[in-house]
Amino acid sequence: MKKSTFIIAGIGIALFILVTLMLKSCIIQNTKPEECVVIDVKVTKITEGGVKDIVFHDDGTDFYYINRGLEQGLNLDTLKTKVLNKTVTLHLAKVLGGITSEHISQLALDDEIIYTEFD
């Protein structure tokens, strides 16, 4: 085989490994509190989005979501009664080298934890 074939194959393998690592880093699994960014947000709107996701909107243009929250026993009407127009504390998962996602790992109102993925 030619040297250029080995170089192209090596580049292809390196790109495959790089893409695989990047995609894996975007998947949120087994998040721990110390791996999250904690923010306080005033919830002004709650909607269903994606595939049974629960989306919390702030008074600006930001939004945060609980992945498949409606499949996990959460209810939109109950959440609206409990947290709408109130300031909640969110633990947001980090992905891809520490970038903060909109994925909610924990939602709390004052001292009450309403939703958590933590063990």
pTM metric for this prediction: 0.75
What integer pLDDT is reported at residue 34 of this predicted model?
A: 85
Q: What φ, ψ does residue 117 adopt, rounded to 5°? A: -105, -5
Please write the tens of the pLDDT for every residue from 63-89: 999 999 999 999 999 999 999 999 999
Are the CB atoms for 105 and 93 separated by under 8 Å? yes
Here the tokens at position 22 are 């990047």
Please write the tens of the pLDDT for every residue from 3-50: 777 777 778 777 666 554 444 444 555 678 888 999 999 999 999 998
Please write the tens of the pLDDT for every residue from 49-70: 988 999 999 999 999 999 999 9
Residues 6+ apart with CB under 8 A from 96: 22, 25, 26
Of 116, 67, 60, 50, nearest to 89 (Cα)? 116
pLDDT at residue 95 is higher than 90: no
HSE-up of 51 (CA within 13 Å, CB side)? 0
What integer pLDDT is reported at residue 4 of this predicted model?
A: 76
